[in-house]
Structure formats: structure tokens, C-alpha cells
């Protein structure tokens, strides 16, 4: 059924599978006689519904309701009783990558080349070309295939006039639908319909499609029609522009730090207009999508991020905060997370990544991503943070007062304090990113200790953000600063709040170069008053800073005030996902220097 939302479609597919299992039925593939008969019935009904009052031929639009199962069934030649066209039927099935009678898809790319098909069928490539030429003529005579071609023209016109083959197939699948319940089979039917429609294009009065192939990637652009304005961009210019965007996307995906949406948009918008951008109008979302489609190895997230299609699963879990277990409400028992819920979080953020493995392999990935979870009864639950989970590293700086160690300390408080000191000393020397948690009422004291004893350079994120926002507001007549303050108190879904979000996004973008320039290999950068990163959607900058620190730019420490410092680190109620070795708990005893005021112990 065409036009359904994703959730509704998935639910219907699930129910359809259940009914088929109960009835012992199997999906009808396009190669079966039952599929051909059903296709005839569906097409005849569409033709009858679209027939003109005087009994004339129906318009092609009448066949837009024909589902992809029927379209695919009509693409294959009807088997001859004697079997004399067996090679032709098999060659066309493989070229279109349609399933066999058992429902198995060919082990070929979605737009198979003739030599590869010829090798499988056992004929020459020239013979396959002859088969295809004959089928092109048959498809061109079929109003169902011609209707698909018109639909592809509409889809291209609606999407900036240039799309990838997979994009066209996905859009056609949404419009026309399929009765198949396996997603790979549904996509295969849609791709076959797209290929057949493209194959007949040269036989029409006005060919409209131009294609460009890079390996298995195939891009299509729309040629200007006779009735279109003269300044309509030519198809070669569109393909050049798509290629240029794809090159930028590949470069962005190879960066050590996942680029923020602002960075992605800035880099893509800077593509040289001499590639033919004149007259090409793409909105930001479409520009990012096209860049990913035209790339070799990049993908686009719904947040307009560009990421590698082989993104490390540990990094994906961390960026998606997939292992953050929701806190129970009141006295309710913790509900934990299922493996599917964790996978869904990653899939929502990074749709192009392969599925995550199930338990127990998922456990290791979650631990490596910094989520301290325990697997119990099919679900993941947060393990109570404890000081013993912190990494015990030998101090590289000798204490100036005490030789007491975390192992010989007289009390747990002193041991925890010594452990924190050792971790900070190692972090200052080794560099990298650390999240320091401290009790709220010890926040200022901890800042002073870190500044004086570890030469930490405090940077108030709030001060810098507000200053940048003020500068932005003052640079234009509207809005006023008072308007901004009012919008800050408005309902999150109100127009004022949405406008404020635009301004804060620009402020972060302007502030980004200065923040990324902060790391210094000589001294730790101490980020304080960092809650605006969460409240005003700047966490992507923290991610970039953390990645830069891990890559050797210099130590970066984030100080998080908390009611209970032993819990997962949070900023303004949002978890900061880091692995255990990047977390340092600062107990009260460390702030009061208990570990430095002890007398030396005898051996």
C-alpha cells in the first residue's frame, strides 16, 4: 500500500507475515504464474478505472496506483511452454536483480552489468544485449512502465533534479508500495522498476535521463524539457555538482572528529559554483543527502551530520548515547534497556550503519563506549557507579608530602582521594579528554585546586557563549537582547523558542573556531560552567573538543557539578557518555587536600 508512514508500514508487514505463517502461505515472487495473473488483474482494474468516457485509452496517470509487485511481474518475459526463451528470461531477471521462484535474490549489484549476467547465464554479452533490446521495446509498449518513467521525472524534479538510483527506488517504494514483507525484496522490486523505466527513456520522443556511474554508485539527472525555461540547469552540470559534493562528503567522513552539522553545511555550501551550480536550488537537507549519495563512503544522519558508513560501533554507541538507561520514576523498579532499544538509538542517529550484534558481543561494545551496564534477564541495567571502577594508574609525579598509596590508605575516603590525584596527574601528562565529577557545593573549591595545583586553564563556556550571543544580537537591529531573554523563557515549541534556537546555533558556529583552538599540550584546559552546551544544543562542540584531545591536541577536562559525583557524569540532566577510564571522581577529601596532609608512613 503506497503512501504509508514507516511505522504503519512495518506493523502491516509484521501482521502480514503472521497471517502467512498461520495459513502456510508463501510470498508470490514476480517469476511465478500466480504473480503474473495477479498483475494482469491489477493492471486491468487500473485501466478500467482510468478509461475515458468515450472508451478511449486511459491516461498514464491511471497506472500510478499499480503496486511494485505487479510492475515487477510484468517486466519478465512470459516463459514459453517449450522453454525456448529460458535464457532470455533468466538474463532479464538477473539484469533487473529480481528474485527466483524461491525468493532468493541474485548475488549481483543492484544495477548489474551485462558481462556479469552473461557469465551466469552461459551466453555472450552480445546475446544479453540482444535480450535487453527486445525487452526494452516490450516495456516501452507497456503503459505501466511508461507511467513509472513519468513518476521518476516527477521525483527528480521535486528533489533538485539529481538523485541516486537507490534514492529513486526508495521514493518509488514509498509511493507505490509492495506486498512483500522482506525489506531487501521490496527494495529489489523498486530498483527493478526504476531500471526498466530508465531503459525505455531513449525510446521516447524526448529522452530526459542522464546517468553517471562510479563503480556501484549510479546518479541520475534530469535533462531540461522542451517546455522548461532556458536557464534550467543541464544534466551534466547537475552531475558535476553532485560529484563535487560527494568529494567533500568523503573528506568530511574521514576526519578524526565527527563534523558538526554547521561544519557540514559550511563545507558543502563552499563547493565551487563553476561546477555548474548556477540555477541549481537545493535546501540544506537535500544538499547533505545528495552529498552522501554521491560519495564513495559517506552517509548522512537525520541531524545533517556526515559520517563514514563503516563508523566504529563503539564510537556510534557513544555519540548516540545509546547506553544511557532512563532513571526510574519515583519508587518504580528500573526498566533497563533491551538490545533492540539500544540498536534502535544507534540506527536513528546513523541509519546507514550495519546492525549491532546481540548479547554477549554487544556487552563488550557498550563497555568500551563507557556505559557501565549489567545484562540481566534479557535487558541492560545501569550498574551502581563505584569508586573501585576508576582506573588505578601509578602517579608519574611524586607526592611532595605523603608516600601513602591508594592501597595503604587508612580510610576509604583517603584512598579515593589518592586515586583521584593519581588519575589527574597521569591525565595532565598523557593528555586526552577527562570528565571530572564533583559535589555541587565543592565546585568552586575544586576549580581553584585544579587551577593552582595542575595549572589548569579555566574556560567558562557560559561566559563565552553569552558574549558571542550578545555580539550576534548587537550586530543586527532585531531581535533585541530583551527579546532573546523572553524567548529563553518561552515554550520550547513556540515560534520564539525556535527562533532563539536559530540564533544559538549561529552563536555556537561562530564560537567553534575559538573553542577548538583551546587545547594546549602544556597545560590542561578546564571547561567550567558548561551547562549551556546541553541547554542550547552545543554538545556537538564538546564531542569535537573531546575527539581533538584524544587525538593529541592537549588535555581537556570538563568539570561537572553533581549531587552524587559517583553517578554517571551529567550536564544539566544530560549524560556525558565517556568510557570509565575518562572519568575522574573528585571526592570531598581530595578537595580538602586530605591526601596531601598525611604524614609519611614508615616502610
Distance CA 68, CA 176 (A): 6
Identify the CA nearest to 583 among candidates 395, 440, 371: 371
pTM exceeding 0.75: no
Q: Average pLDDT of the chain? A: 85
Q: How confident is the model at residue 54 (pLDDT cuts 50, 70, 90)?
A: low
The three-point CA angle 255-515-542 to 5° equals 65
Strand partners, 212: 219
598-603 CB contacts, 8 Å cutoff, 24+ apart = 598/401, 598/402, 598/404, 598/414, 599/402, 600/401, 600/402, 600/403, 600/404, 601/402, 601/403, 601/404, 601/408
Count of alpha carbons within 13 Å of 480, Cβ hemisphere only? 3
CA 288 remoteness from chain centre: 12
Assess whether pLDDT exceeds 50 at residue 388.
Answer: no
Distance CA 336, CA 365 (A): 17
Assess whether pLDDT exceeds 80 at residue 600.
Answer: no
- Residue 287: C-alpha distances to residues 34, 129, 249, 280, 352 (Å): 43, 36, 11, 10, 17
Identify the CA nearest to 249 among candidates 257, 239, 259: 259
Q: What is the pLDDT of residue 501?
A: 85
Q: Which residue has the higher pLDDT, 397 or 587?
A: 587
Give the 3-state secondary structure of residue 44: helix
Assess whether pLDDT exceeds 90 at residue 22.
Answer: no
**Local structure of residue 369 (DSSP, 8 states):** T
Each residue's pLDDT tens digit, 293-336: 999 999 999 888 999 999 999 989 988 878 877 766 556 778 88
- Residue 386: C-alpha distances to residues 342, 532, 572, 585 (Å): 24, 28, 22, 9
Q: What is the pLDDT of residue 492?
A: 73
Q: Which residues of 208-226 are buried (b: 16+ CB within 10 A; e: fewer)?
A: bbbebeeeebbbbbbbbee
Assess whether pLDDT exceeds 80 at residue 289.
Answer: yes
Assess whether pLDDT exceeds 80 at residue 190.
Answer: yes
Q: Which residue has the higher pLDDT, 333 or 549?
A: 549
Assess whether pLDDT exceeds 80 at residue 473.
Answer: yes
Q: Beta-strand (E) ranges in 165-278? A: 209-214, 217-222
User: Going by DSSP bridges, is the β-strand pair 373-376/379-382 parallel, antiparallel, or unpaired?
Assistant: antiparallel
User: Going by DSSP bridges, is the β-strand pair 306-308/298-300 parallel, antiparallel, or unpaired?
Assistant: antiparallel
Q: What is the pLDDT of residue 503?
A: 85
For the chain, percent of residues with pLDDT exceeding 70: 86
Across 161-175, average pLDDT: 96
Assess whether pLDDT exceeds 90 at residue 522.
Answer: no
Point out the least confidently predicted range of 28-37, 158-167, 296-305, 463-472. 28-37
Tell the burial category of 459 from Cβ atoms under 10 Å away from its Cβ (0-12, 13-18, 19+): middle
User: Going by DSSP bridges, is the β-strand pair 574-575/570-571 parallel, antiparallel, or unpaired?
Assistant: antiparallel
User: Going by DSSP bridges, is the β-strand pair 570-571/457-460 parallel, antiparallel, or unpaired?
Assistant: unpaired
519 touches 552 (CB < 8 A): no
73 touches 88 (CB < 8 A): no
Q: What is the pLDDT of residue 333?
A: 79
Q: How confident is the model at residue 409 (pLDDT cuts 50, 70, 90)?
A: very low
Q: Grid coordinates 568552586 are at which residue? A: 444
Instruction: Name the CA radius of gyration of the chain, rounded.
Output: 31
Assess whether pLDDT exceeds 80 at residue 27.
Answer: no
Q: Which residues of 433-453 are buried (b: 16+ CB within 10 A; e: fewer)?
A: bbbbbbbeebbebbbebbbee
Is the CA virtual torsion 121, 124, 125, 126 positive or negative? negative
Neighbouring residues of 555: CB distance < 8 A, sequence distance ≥ 6: 427, 428, 430, 431, 432, 433, 434, 519, 521, 523, 524, 525, 549
Span between the terminal Cα atoms of the chain, in Å = 80
Assess whether pLDDT exceeds 80 at residue 569.
Answer: yes
Assess whether pLDDT exceeds 50 at residue 205.
Answer: yes
Each residue's pLDDT tens digit, 362-377: 999 999 887 889 999 9
Tell the burial category of 496 from Cβ atoms under 10 Å away from its Cβ (0-12, 13-18, 19+): middle
Q: What is the pLDDT of residue 10?
A: 52
Q: How confident is the model at residue 403 (pLDDT cuts 50, 70, 90)?
A: very low
Please write down the HEC assignment for all residues of 430-483.
HCCEEEEEEEHHHHHHHHHHHHHHCCCEEEEHHHHHHHHHHHHHHCCCCCCHHH
Identify the CA nearest to 407 among candidates 574, 255, 601: 601
The three-point CA angle 441-447-453 to 5° equals 130
Amino acid at each position: 500500500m503506497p503512501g504509508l508512514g514507516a511505522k504503519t508500514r512495518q506493523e502491516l508487514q509484521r501482521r502480514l507475515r503472521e497471517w502467512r505463517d498461520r495459513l502456510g502461505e508463501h510470498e508470490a515472487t514476480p517469476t511465478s504464474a500466480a504473480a503474473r495473473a495477479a498483475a494482469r488483474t491489477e493492471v486491468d482494474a487500473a485501466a478500467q478505472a482510468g478509461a475515458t468516457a468515450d472508451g478511449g485509452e486511459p491516461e498514464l496517470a491511471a497506472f500510478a496506483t499499480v503496486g511494485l509487485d505487479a510492475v515487477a511481474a510484468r517486466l519478465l518475459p512470459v516463459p514459453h511452454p517449450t522453454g525456448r526463451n529460458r535464457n532470455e528470461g533468466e538474463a532479464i531477471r538477473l539484469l533487473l536483480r529480481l528474485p527466483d521462484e524461491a525468493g532468493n535474490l541474485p548475488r549481483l549489484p543492484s544495477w548489474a552489468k551485462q558481462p556479469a549476467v552473461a557469465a551466469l547465464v552461459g551466453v555472450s554479452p552480445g546475446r544479453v544485449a540482444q535480450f535487453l533490446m527486445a525487452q526494452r521495446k516490450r516495456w516501452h509498449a507497456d503503459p505501466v512502465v511508461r507511467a513509472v518513467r513519468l513518476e521518476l521525472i516527477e521525483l527528480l524534479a521535486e528533489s533538485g533534479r539529481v538523485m541516486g538510483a537507490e534514492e529513486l527506488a526508495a521514493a518509488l517504494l514509498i509511493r507505490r508500495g509492495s506486498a512483500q514483507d522482506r525489506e531487501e525484496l521490496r527494495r529489489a522490486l523498486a530498483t527493478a522498476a526504476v531500471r526498466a523505466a530508465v531503459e525505455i527513456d531513449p525510446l521516447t520522443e524526448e529522452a530526459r535521463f542522464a546517468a553517471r556511474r562510479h563503480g556501484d554508485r549510479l546518479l541520475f539527472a534530469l535533462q531540461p524539457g522542451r517546455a522548461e525555461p532556458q536557464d534550467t540547469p543541464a544534466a551534466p552540470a547537475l552531475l558535476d555538482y553532485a560529484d563535487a559534493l560527494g568529494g567533500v562528503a568523503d573528506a568530511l567522513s574521514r576526519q578524526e572528529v565527527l563534523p558538526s552539522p554547521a561544519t557540514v553545511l559550511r563545507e558543502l555550501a563552499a563547493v565551487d559554483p563553476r561546477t555548474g551550480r548556477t540555477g541549481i536550488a537545493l535546501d540544506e537537507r537535500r544538499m547533505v543527502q545528495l552529498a552522501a549519495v554521491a560519495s564513495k563512503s559517506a552517509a548522512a544522519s537525520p541531524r545533517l551530520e556526515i559520517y563514514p558508513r563503516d563508523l566504529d560501533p563503539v564510537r556510534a554507541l557513544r555519540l548516540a548515547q545509546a547506553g544511557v538507561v532512563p532513571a526510574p520514576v519515583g519508587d518504580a523498579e528500573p526498566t533497563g534497556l533491551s538490545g533492540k532499544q539500544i540498536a534502535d538509538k544507534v540506527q536513528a542517529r546513523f541509519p546507514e550503519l550495519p546492525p549491532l550484534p546481540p548479547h554477549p558481543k554487544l556487552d563488550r561494545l557498550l563497555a568500551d563506549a563507557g556505559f557501565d551496564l549489567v545484562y540481566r534477564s534479557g535487558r541492560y541495567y545501569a550498574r551502581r557507579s563505584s569508586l573501585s571502577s576508576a582506573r588505578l594508574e601509578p602517579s608519574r609525579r611524586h607526592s611532595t608530602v605523603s608516600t601513602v598509596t591508594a592501597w595503604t590508605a587508612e580510610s576509604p575516603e583517603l584512598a579515593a582521594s589518592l586515586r583521584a590525584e593519581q588519575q589527574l596527574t597521569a591525565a595532565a601528562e598523557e593528555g586526552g579528554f577527562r570528565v571530572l565529577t564533583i559535589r555541587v557545593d565543592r565546585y568552586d573549591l575544586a576549580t581553584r585546586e585544579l587551577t593552582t595545583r595542575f595549572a589548569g586553564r579555566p574556560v567558562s563556556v557560559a561566559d563565552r557563549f553569552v558574549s558571542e550571543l550578545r555580539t550576534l544580537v548587537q550586530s543586527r537591529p532585531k531581535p533585541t537582547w530583551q527579546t532573546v531573554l523572553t524567548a529563553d523563557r518561552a515554550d520550547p515549541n513556540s515560534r520564539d523558542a525556535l527562533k532563539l534556537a536559530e540564533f544559538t546555533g549561529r552563536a555556537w558556529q561562530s564560537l567553534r573556531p575559538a573553542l577548538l583552538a583551546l587545547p594546549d599540550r602544556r597545560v590542561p584546559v578546564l571547561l567550567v560552567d558548561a551547562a549551556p552546551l546541553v541547554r542550547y544544543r552545543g554538545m556537538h562542540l564538546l564531542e569535537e573538543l573531546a575527539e581533538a584531545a584524544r587525538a593529541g591536541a592537549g588535555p581537556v577536562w570538563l568539570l561537572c557539578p553533581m549531587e552524587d559525583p559517583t553517578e554517571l557524569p551529567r550536564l544539566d540532566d544530560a549524560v556525558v557518555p565517556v568510557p570509565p577510564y575518562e572519568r575522574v571522581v573528585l571526592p570531598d577529601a581530595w578537595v580538602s587536600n586530605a591526601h596531601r596532609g598525611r604524614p609519611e608512613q614508615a616502610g
